[in-house]
Amino acid sequence: MNIKNLVLKRLFPAGYALAMAALLPLSAAQAAEAKTEKPKPYPLKTCVVSGEKFGGDMGDPYVFTHQGREIKLCCKSCLKDFNKEPAKYIKKLEEAEKAAKDKKAGGSTAPGQSGHAGHDGHKH
């Protein structure tokens, strides 16, 4: 066996192991950071893909995190559709969040006012 082959057989695995050991703390730190950050809460009471209400015959929703946002689907089968067009469904969630925020902002009104458009002038 020549010296070149001996060096490659003995030193290469050691160098590889050292490189991997150097990268592991970074990966562990990233994983710990991801776990400590709370995902943005899901704003709907229905599946963003199918529109089905959660619970009932379907059981508990399928919950996962996508890009720092909690996603709830009525079943795991909807995940395939979500993964085909995630931007489409994220946009729906953002619109729902905006609507909820607008509703909340308009919810504090003076006594005698209804607080929502089209209902001024009559009492509930």
6-50 pLDDT per residue, tens: 545 555 555 555 555 555 554 454 555 555 689 999 999 999 999
Does residue 47 contact residue 60 with C-beta atoms inside 8 Å? no
- The pTM is what? 0.56
pLDDT tens track for 59-97: 899 999 999 999 999 999 999 999 999 999 999 999 999
Cα–Cα distance measured from residue 68 to residue 49, given in angstroms and rounded to the nearest whole number: 18
Cα gap 65→82, rounded to integer Å = 12
